[in-house]
Amino acid sequence: MANQADTGQADHEYNMSALMEACDKEEVEAMMEETPKARHEHTPMPSPNPKKRFDEQDQRLKIIEKRMEENAHAVKENKEVIGRMKEEIMDLRKENISLKQQCLEQARYKRRWDLRLIGLPEKEKEDTREVVIGIFTRVKTPGVGGYSASFGKEE
């Protein structure tokens, strides 16, 4: 690519000859003197106030540092909260297991006397225990070890 100064083109894509035709030569020369010339293609112009630029950068760095500290503090708090939540979850799981066992035990206890005798019609307000004891006493054989009416206790 040819040097921009050789072709008469600056950063912008316009033709200097067209500008010369549209304006007086003196106006074009005045504009060229006012426009700072780049030392190299894409070289930025030096800052008119470098101290101000460094002060702005320092200020931006301080803002970034402050945000980083706030984020670090928030991360630390979140880790603590997560740790407490994990402990609480473990406690709740243990409690849940215990409650499930209690429910199963109560259901088992409730079903203790749930007995269905096939072929025996169900009557309202019937004492199932007495019916079962009656059946056992009729089936009871003297040679097998006798059971009393209180179930499970051998005579």
pLDDT in tens, 38-75: 555 666 666 677 777 788 889 999 999 999 999 999 99
pLDDT of residue 101: 97
Sequential DSSP letters for 99-121: HHHHHHHHHHHHGGG----TTS-
Residues of the chain falling short of pLDDT 50 = 1-2, 4-6, 8-10, 144, 149, 155
Looking at residue 155, its pLDDT comes to 47
Return the pLDDT at 106. 93
Any idea what DSSP says for residue 144? G
Domain-wise residue ranges, the chain: 48-116, 117-143
Place of tokens 């994990």: 86
In order, the DSSP letters of 39-98 are SSTTPPPPPS-HHHHHHHHHHHHHHHHHHHHHHHHHHHHHHHHHHHHHHHHHHHHHHHHH
Q: Would you state the pLDDT for residue 86?
A: 98
